Amino acid sequence: MSISETYVRYRRTLSEEPLAIGVVLVALWMAWSLASGLATGGIRISSLASLVWDGLLRGLIIGLAGIGLSMTYSILNFANFAHGDYLTSGAFAGMATSYLVAGIGENSVGALLLVGAGGSVFGGALGIGVTTSPAAVVLGALVAGGLTIALALFIDRFVYKPIRDESGIALLITSIGVAFALRYLIQFVFGAGVRGTTASGSVPRVDVPAFDGTFRVTAHDVTLILVAAGLMLGVHLLLQRTKLGKAMRAMSDNEDLARITGIPTERVIRTTWIVGAGLTGVAGYMFVLWKGTLGFNDGWLLLLLVFAAVILGGIGSIYGAIGGGIVIGLTASVSVIWIPSEFGRAAAFMVMIVILLFKPEGIFSGRTTA
């Protein structure tokens, strides 16, 4: 490309994309203010590291939750607004199991199964934590995945399947109905209160040195990373090494063609729900284990960030979902360096909006369901 061509291109960009220029300017300003903050000592490296660490973990949760959303989005072709409440369902199912395993014998089964509704049992008193009650946590995660799969299959059978051929918008509106029904049924059963779920005082922690200070890493952080990495690797192998992955990719490209080729589309859809919902349930449980509180609104509040991650990464791409999740998580956490902390989530949404405007196919575009 000659210099003059480049010049013409830049001039065109300048005149046609005022928004893009705005974004670039904002990015430059952010880089400058971060650099000068670090240079003058206004921003400590250790606090930056702790924000990055927090954002990374948050991003792993979002990414893990995003894989399921991304899969159903690309294969069933609709944005599932009930996905956040699948996360909540998984969290409640898993925590009820953990409570039951950790507290059986000393407390009433009802109170344990209701995750201490109304302050009848406290997670801290039961010593819920990956080191204090490993069996309860493992079982909780398994049940979270299992019950969310059952729930997703049940809802798919009775809600989505009858209108499978409708437009994506009709399904989206239906999923809003599912979200309402699920969320407030959960509130009906488990109550509206936000409860502490873990014995946060007794979770082992280390202070990692970082130049001018330390940042804290807890056992739950490490657990989250291990679980997320394991599940992501598993999904990767599932989709790359099995016929199922190929069938899914074929379906997300063209469903009619896939059916003609002999791919059992309904079975692929069912498998998609199983894999997606399983990951979602575990993600919901890990989220609650990691942050230590549980309320009926948690999943819904996370949903928009999950959408942001999925769109950022490109719908249908599981690596995109993970990468997008980490970008969104980091944005929500680290942005407090530049803007007031109340706007962390707003910043993540802004990133999503900007991506939608400039690269609606996502930053990791070109792949679907693999």
Partner 1 sequence: MSVDDVRGRLDGLFERDVTLVLAVLGAIYLAYVLAGVAFGYGLRGQLNSIANLTFYIGAFGMLALALNLHWGYTGLFNIGIVGFMGIGVYVTALVSKPPVAEGGAAQVGGLGLPLVVGVVAGVAVAALFGLLVALPALRLRADYLAIVTVAFSEIVRFTMMSRTFQEATVPDTIDLTVAGVRLFSFDPAADTIGLGGGGGLILNYTDPLEALLRLLFLWEPYLGFVAFVERNFIPNNPKPVIDGVVYGIVLLVCVGLFYLLLSRTGKSPFGRVLKAIREDEDVANALGKDTDRFKLTAFVLGAALMGLGGILWYSGRGSITPPSFRPNITFFVWIALIIGGAGSNTGSFLGGAIFAGVLYEGPRYVKNLVEAAFELGDAPRNFGEAVAPLASLDPVPFLVYTLDSVSQLRLVIMGVVLIWLMHNRPEGLLGHRKETASSVDLSRPGDDGSSGNPAAADGGETR
Chain residues in the site for partner 1 (CB under 8 A): 19, 78-79, 108, 110-111, 113-114, 117-118, 120, 159, 162-163, 166, 168-170, 172-174, 176-185, 187-192, 304, 307-308, 311, 340, 342-343, 345-346, 349-350, 352-353, 356-357, 360
Q: Which is nearer to partner 1, 114 or 283 (CB)?
A: 114
CB of 303 to partner 1, least distance (A): 9
C-alpha gyration radius of the chain: 22
CA dist 181 to 168, 176, 193, 200, Å? 20, 9, 18, 32
Residue (of 119, 124, 126, 125) closest to 102 by Cα position:
126
Q: Which is nearer to partner 1, 239 or 294 (CB)?
A: 294
Give the span between the Cα atoms of 291 and 97, in whole angstroms: 18
Q: Which is nearer to partner 1, 58 or 220 (CB)?
A: 58
Q: Which is nearer to partner 1, 75 or 179 (CB)?
A: 179
Q: Which is nearer to partner 1, 113 or 330 (CB)?
A: 113
Residue (of 302, 303, 297, 312) closest to 364 by Cα position:
312
Contacts of 214 (CB under 8 A, 6+ apart): 46, 207, 208
Give the span between the Cα atoms of 293 and 61, in whole angstroms: 15
Sign of CA dihedral 126, 132, 136, 142: positive
CB of 190 to partner 1, least distance (A): 7
CB of 202 to partner 1, least distance (A): 27
CB of 179 to partner 1, least distance (A): 7
Q: Which is nearer to partner 1, 27 or 353 (CB)?
A: 353
Helices (H), 115-218: 123-126, 134-155, 168-190
CB of 182 to partner 1, least distance (A): 8
